[in-house]
Amino acid sequence: MLKLNKDQQVLPDGGHHFSTRGIMFRADSFEELLEKVADFRIANMILPGDLNEEILQYYAECFPQMVLSDGKPYKPKIDGTYEQWARWMGMAWRSPVKANVAPKEAEMRTDICKTCPRNKPMNFQESPGLSSLKQRSYILTRGYGNTDKINFCDLHRADISVLSFSSTPDALSEKESSAEPQACCWVGSLKGS
């Protein structure tokens, strides 16, 4: 497994940098670089992936002084729910709903979600882009969302807080057509609204 050699005084040529999708990102620190690349991917609906490892692998190849290895094999740390949520949030941020329902209406919806088995925890580990995504969720719900019981819907594959404010939630749902509907769900009952 690789980790950043924080004691290294000689930075990569040109400072911390990484190229993704043909765009070169530069930053004053490794952490800033992670955030910048994660933000770009999220905004463009690209899965964040294990960005830390990706950049370390690049450094190991081109600037080996920047990494330390403990000799153990790399273990992927991808959280599937986080990847789905991050990608969906990127989509919701790029095409925010034009009409929001009132907070009271959103609350009535999320009250249903609180006891629904498709409401899955979002106990995500700290990772690049996480705080920026949470901030976007907060903005899209005008500060009303993200209570501890409102999380990620693994049926509609959506952030429940954000979804609950949409006047056309069905359009934001990424439910697979073959997936069984959830009997208690308010999204299906509003189809075509």
Binding residues for ligand SF4, rule: CB under 6 A, are 112-113, 116, 118-119, 153, 155-156, 160, 182, 184-187
Between 55 and 101, CB nearer to ligand SF4:
101
CB of 118 to ligand SF4, least distance (A): 4
Q: How far is the CB of 142 from ligand SF4 (least distance, A)?
A: 19
Cβ within 8 Å of residue 119, ≥6 positions away? 113, 149, 150, 151, 152, 153, 160
Quick one: 52 or 151, whose CB is closer to ligand SF4? 151
Of 14, 41, 11, 38, nearest to 26 (Cα)? 14
- Measured between alpha carbons, how far is 78 from 86 in angstroms, rounded to an integer? 12
SS3 52: helix
Q: Tell me whether residue 86 or residue 163 sits nearer to ligand SF4 (CB atom).
A: 163
The least distance separating ligand SF4 from the CB of residue 154, rounded to whole angstroms, comes to 8
Beta bridge partners, 16, equal 27
Comparison of 1 and 184: residue with beta carbon closer to ligand SF4? 184
* Sheet of 119-120, strand order: 119-120, 152-153, 158-159
We find the least distance from the C-beta atom of residue 119 to ligand SF4, in angstroms, to be 4
